[in-house]
Amino acid sequence: MKIMVCGKGGSGKTVLSILMAKALLEKFKVYIIDSDESNTLLPIFLGVNPPKPLIEYVGGKREEEDFERMEPDIVKALSTARKGIKLGLLPSEYMATSKDGIGLITIGKVKEYGEGCACPFNVLTRILLGNLSLERDEVVLIDTDAGVEHIGRKIEEVSDGILTVIDPTAESIEIALTLREVAEKLGKRFWAIANKVTDNIRDLLIEAAASMGLNIDGLVRFDRELYISCLRREPLKAGNALLDVEKIVKEKILPAIVRG
Ligand SMILES: Nc1ncnc2c1ncn2[C@@H]1O[C@H](COP(=O)(O)OP(=O)(O)O)[C@@H](O)[C@H]1O
Ligand SMILES: [Mg+2]
């Protein structure tokens, strides 16, 4: 199962990708694909050294059209199995593994002023996801860039579901509605998870979402310990937020994965 973790910038996509990975580990081999071309904190939050970006494995950044044309060669270069790409068999420098066993693959980061747009990264993400050969006990979480750029790149097409993270704002709910529309159009699974929820806004948020036509599948509390570990740029320490994510995974996500 390949789940895209999407939503507004700062809503908690990266944090929830890691917490969901932890919650899924008991039953699955879990990989996170970092497809956000700008933020660099995921490896730190996961407690690993950054892996080499996958874009380097396929010869570095090139024009988007060249990349599209090269798809068969890229698939061939990345494929170790007879049928498609197996993440677990990628050369070790392109995969970092956390102490608890979560695999991290990074697509690439924009580093230099004027180096061009991030489109090639999106193309590579689509090629990778579209040609993955996954076992039944493997789950891939794609930590996406902020907003809805990935919709324009049609990355959703090659995933199985969209999980949208909502911080308690109307903007966030708007993005969730756009993503739900895409999920419905493509026949993909869809979850809306509210994050950074505090007692004093909990009901207001649920009501606001409902009035905009959005049902919230789960709530993750604002977790002070987690917030502090992020601010200090340390491996994530989560208390209540992890408990909430574990509950959501157990009740909403696991059944979908099991059904396939
Ligand atoms: N449940 C939470 N409790 C407290 N702070 C959170 C929580 N989730 C996210 N944060 C805060 O929000 C910031 C942005 O989260 P992040 O996952 O990087 O967002 P995104 O990937 O969507 O841009 C984190 O650095 C942290 O400070
Ligand atoms: Mg992020």
The pLDDT value given to residue 67 = 77
- Region 196-224: what's the mean pLDDT? 96
Residue 119 is predicted with a pLDDT of: 78
Q: What is the pLDDT of residues 174-185, one digit of tens each?
A: 999 999 999 999
Tell me: pLDDT of 121 over 80.
yes
pLDDT value of position 243: 98
Distance CA 173, CA 208 (A): 9
Average confidence (pLDDT) over 207-225: 97
* Ligand 1 binding pocket mutation candidate from 15, 45, 46, 246 (most atoms within 8 A of CB): 15
pLDDT at residue 64 greater than cutoff 80 = no
User: How large is the average pLDDT for residues 80-90?
Assistant: 83
Q: What is the mean pLDDT of residues 103-123?
A: 79
- pLDDT band with cut points at 50, 70 and 90 for residue 188: very high
CA distance 108 to 111: 9
Q: Is the pLDDT of residue 236 over 90?
A: yes
- Binning pLDDT at 50, 70 and 90, where does residue 140 land? very high
Could you tell me the pLDDT band of residue 114, with boundaries at 50, 70 and 90? low
Shortest CA distance to 132 belongs to which of 91, 86, 94, 96? 86
Predicted confidence at residue 11, as pLDDT, reads: 96
Q: What is the pLDDT of residue 70?
A: 84
Ligand 1 pocket residue status of 230, Cβ below 6 Å: yes
Reported as a single tens digit per residue, the pLDDT across 28-42 is 999 999 998 878 899
Residue 82 has pLDDT above 80, yes or no: no
| Domains in the chain: ranges and CATH | 2-259 (3.40.50.300)
Query: Pairing between strand 103-106 and 96-97?
Result: antiparallel
10 lines ligand 1 (CB under 6 A): yes
Evaluate: CB of 98 within 6 angstroms of ligand 1: no
| CA-nearest residue, atom 15 of ligand 1 | 12
Q: Which atom of ligand 1 is nearest to the CA of 195?
A: 1
Check pocket membership of 11 for ligand 1, CB cut-off 6 A: yes
In this prediction, residue 115 carries a pLDDT of 65
User: Residue 35: nearest ligand to its CA?
Assistant: 2
**pLDDT at residue 227 is higher than 90:** yes
| Chain segment 152-164, per-residue pLDDT in tens | 667 778 899 999 9
CA distance 236 to 249: 18
Can you give the C-alpha Rg of the chain in angstroms? Answer: 18
